[in-house]
Chain A
Amino acid sequence: MRDGSGTRNSPRLRVALAGNPNAGKTTLFNSLTGAHHKVGNYPGVTVEKREGSVFFDGSEIVLIDLPGTYSLTAYSLDEVIARDFVLLERPDVVVSVMDSTNIERHLFLCLQFQELGIPVVGALNMSDEAESKGIAIDGDKLSLLLGMPMVKIVGTRGKGVEALLRAIRSAAASAAASPKTTDYGPELEEWLGRIERLIDSDPAFAPPYPSRWLAVKLVEKDSVAVKRIGVHELHAEIVALCGEAVRWIESHFAKDAEVVVSEQRYGYIHGACAETVARSPVKGSGATETVDRFLMGRFLGLPIFILVIWGIFRLTFALGQYPVAWLDSFFGWLSALIGPAIPGVYLHSLVIDGIIGGVGSVLSFVPLIVILFFCLSILEDTGYMSRAAFITDKFLHGFGLHGQSFLPLMLGFGCSVPAILSTRTLKSPRDRIVTALAVPFMSCGAKLPLYVLLAGAFFPKNPAGAVMAIYGIGVALAGLSSLLLSKTVLKGEVTPFVMELPPYRLPTLRGIAWHVWEKSSQYARKAGTVILAASILIWAITTFPHPPQDIGARNAEASAYRTIQPGASEGEVAAHLAAFDAGRNLEYSIAGRLGHAIEPVVRPLGFDWKIGVAVVTGFAAKEIVVSTMGILYKVGTGESENSKGLRSALLADPIFSPLTAFVLMLFVLVIPPCFAALATLKAELGWRWLAFALCYMLSIGWALAFTAKSIGSALGWGA
């Protein structure tokens, strides 16, 4: 069965770890590989690929963690990845991890790996739990019946792991695929045999997998298999024969052929389990149901869920602010420490403002991410996450979202970065994309200072109401945008909502620590590189080119200031001049010119070039919008939202009216988020969706602001 292409010069074994979600695959992987593992992506897709190794009896076994799937159809990306990995990369052994308490459904996947013609070792995981539930599995007899070794293990406690490794070694040593395969019953076998013989008739076709597997997939109308057969010399005959087979099967069984294949496979499994699995009813196993009565109950479910989400939200941002502040002061201290040692004005500014400022902004998110993923891992590992999806699905489904979209959207109020990262808990790529694209509409914490500044200055009667209105508009936009996207761009990719509810399990500290470490280090690496580059870019465009010295203008400004403020001290004059210089530098820089260049675009919204510059620098971080305006209005270099000087400067500017202020808040709400969030979007969804998101949010932001401005002006609010 195995050809010469599998020869290797090292004695390393390559073993793929496969199984259903909730089979305990990741726990087993972590306990086997310990610290020796790395996380990457499968080529061309954003599906995580974990690879690690374990040394056993002096030789190395490399383990590759396949995505958790229920089957191996061509419908889902995860399933295609899992089967392509086995077909194309030909690992030495596939270990199929199964939950012993639910053996039939787990064998359903296991047997499909067996059909791929690679030695399979069955790992009967959670065997302790099965025993306590009164399920007794005769592992030896099951091995014999199905033609593959079966090893009982308890992944969480490392029990049976050595026996498993030994079984892997001997399966690899014999290098023979299983002598047995699934029996689909006389009617299907007859057709499969005929298709298989026809496939084998072309010696040049010679697939690197059993032709029987291809025959089964063709009867299942698998799109990838149909494409594969395209190069066969008897391609037309095979297609005709398969068509005939499918028609016969569908009229005989009165259901779809692919469903018949699944039913027959389950029939075969049921036959094997009838002889090897004994069930004795055990009392007191209803703990999960008792808890579910509360957590999923008609009346208590939703309030409990809201409480949990509120708790996570509070914990993340309340507890997170301390380490964030420590990091902030650490970077301040670092700048003060190494600042004097750096020669040259520009190099100094690059290191202090560009690099340390940039890296600091990246790292300051890390505490939030650590806390957040700590909480999320607990929800996920205990099994609450799928219950939460059950509770919120009805409401969110109306907007084309998913039950599990709720948490990312809520987190969006805090910071888009962890919010977008948490969309990973969504299993279908379509739901993940819709949710990630809705997150930026949930107004993040960094936009608040601008709202406070503008609302305080222009809506003095009810600033809180104005800010709330902006938040409300954001939430409405998130819903409407998801509805729009799922009816247009992401139409037709609707995935069925069929989600397993695992029994409640106590999470292990080790498992949670792994999750947290993996997510946080991934974020720091992926987003870090992009944000560092972006920070340096923003630094450069706000610094260069430098305006020529103009002593005359500076002296004129100083005497003008002294005339307005007769009693001004030397320090006050110096501060005013510093602000004057900073404003002049910024206007002369590329960012300032960009602001002037985009003025025609933002002019219809009632904005001038100053707001243009602030919007440009806002891509570095939304908090910067306020301090940029401080510099441009020449009131100071470190302005905050509560600064009286900036407020009165804005009120004095004829360009600003309450309408302009409102339109600006709306515009900042909707336009693309900061670089950190964009980098995260890119990491999660890829360049294509990032480009789409940029255009999408820019056009919606502009259109919405323009509409608000036009309506407002027509109603005479612009004055």
Chain B
Amino acid sequence: MTTIAALESGTRFVVRRVALAREVGKRLADMGFTDGSLGTVVRKSLFKGPLHVRIRDYDVVLRRSEADGIEVEPFFEKAAKDA
């Protein structure tokens, strides 16, 4: 298990758990970061700035502190086709 912040840009992932407290955790879950949802790290900015992530087929920007709290599994094309 790793987190979004630890992934290289271009990596696809499956969300497992949002390990963040109340408001942030709920907000991320409401925006679609839920168990089993599929996403991609599109780009990371310089100097540990925010990350550009695609989740459920739309794009969001997260700060590293938030991305660090989203536990994911790297996802490889062959494993599954479900989003």
A residues sitting closer than 8 Å to B (CB atoms) are: 70-71, 73, 75, 101-102, 104-105, 108, 220-221, 254-256, 258-259, 262-263, 266, 289, 292, 296, 298, 301, 386, 389-391, 393-394, 397, 403, 495-503
Within 8 A of A (CB), among B4-19: 17-18
Separation of A386 and B50 alpha carbons in the complex (Å):
12
Q: What A residues does B49 contact at CB under 8 A?
A: 390, 393-394
Chain B 34-53 near chain A by CB (<8 Å), digits 1 or 0: 11010000110111111010
Separation of A674 and B57 alpha carbons in the complex (Å):
48
| CB of A23 to closest CB in B, whole Å | 12
Q: Are A497 and B61 in contact (CB under 8 A)?
A: yes
9 residue pairs from A and B, CB less than 8 Å apart: A101-B57, A105-B31, A258-B25, A497-B50, A497-B62, A498-B24, A498-B31, A498-B60, A499-B61
Q: Are A259 and B45 in contact (CB under 8 A)?
A: no
| CB of B78 to closest CB in A, whole Å | 17
Q: What B residues does A389 contact at CB under 8 A?
A: 61
Kindly report which residue of chain B lies nearest to residue A394, judged by CB atoms. Answer: B49
Contacts A255-B17, A263-B34, A390-B50; is A496 near B22 (CB within 8 Å)?
Answer: no
Other-chain contact of B60, A292, A495, A500 (Cβ < 8 Å): A500
Contacts A108-B30, A255-B17, A390-B50; is A500 near B58 (CB within 8 Å)?
Answer: yes
Q: Are A497 and B63 in contact (CB under 8 A)?
A: yes
Contacts A389-B61, A390-B61, A500-B58; is A296 near B25 (CB within 8 Å)?
Answer: no
Cβ of B32 under 8 Å from chain A? yes
Q: Are B45 and A390 in contact (CB under 8 A)?
A: yes
Separation of A372 and B25 alpha carbons in the complex (Å):
37
Interface residues on chain B, number (Cβ under 8 Å): 34
Q: What B residues does A391 contact at CB under 8 A?
A: 45
| CB of A70 to closest CB in B, whole Å | 5
Q: Are B50 and A75 in contact (CB under 8 A)?
A: no
Q: What B residues does A397 contact at CB under 8 A?
A: 63
Separation of A503 and B28 alpha carbons in the complex (Å):
20
Separation of A403 and B63 alpha carbons in the complex (Å):
11
| CB of A251 to closest CB in B, whole Å | 15
Q: Are A262 and B29 in contact (CB under 8 A)?
A: yes
Most buried by B among A254, A263, A393: A263
Kindly report which residue of chain A lies nearest to residue B32, judged by CB atoms. Answer: A105
Contacts A102-B56, A390-B50; is A256 near B61 (CB within 8 Å)?
Answer: no
Other-chain contact of A393, B18, B22, B28, B50 (Cβ < 8 Å): B50
Separation of A301 and B56 alpha carbons in the complex (Å):
25
Q: Are B61 and A266 in contact (CB under 8 A)?
A: no
Q: Are A390 and B52 in contact (CB under 8 A)?
A: yes
User: Top 10 nearest A-B pairs by Cβ distance?
Assistant: A394-B49, A262-B29, A501-B59, A71-B30, A496-B24, A263-B34, A497-B63, A259-B29, A102-B58, A75-B23
Q: Are A500 and B59 in contact (CB under 8 A)?
A: yes
Q: Are A394 and B24 in contact (CB under 8 A)?
A: no
| CB of A551 to closest CB in B, whole Å | 73
Q: Are A105 and B58 in contact (CB under 8 A)?
A: yes
Q: What A residues does B17 contact at CB under 8 A?
A: 254-255
| CB of B30 to closest CB in A, whole Å | 4
Q: Are A70 and B25 in contact (CB under 8 A)?
A: no
Q: What B residues does A495 contact at CB under 8 A?
A: 23
Contacts A296-B52, A497-B50; is A263 near B27 (CB within 8 Å)?
Answer: no
Separation of A289 and B9 alpha carbons in the complex (Å):
14
Kindly report which residue of chain A lies nearest to residue B64, judged by CB atoms. Answer: A394
Other-chain contact of A496, B37, B59, B66 (Cβ < 8 Å): B66
Kindly report which residue of chain B lies nearest to residue A109, judged by CB atoms. Answer: B30
Q: What A residues does B37 contact at CB under 8 A?
A: 266
Q: Are A394 and B47 in contact (CB under 8 A)?
A: yes
Separation of A498 and B66 alpha carbons in the complex (Å):
8
Q: What B residues does A501 contact at CB under 8 A?
A: 52, 58-61
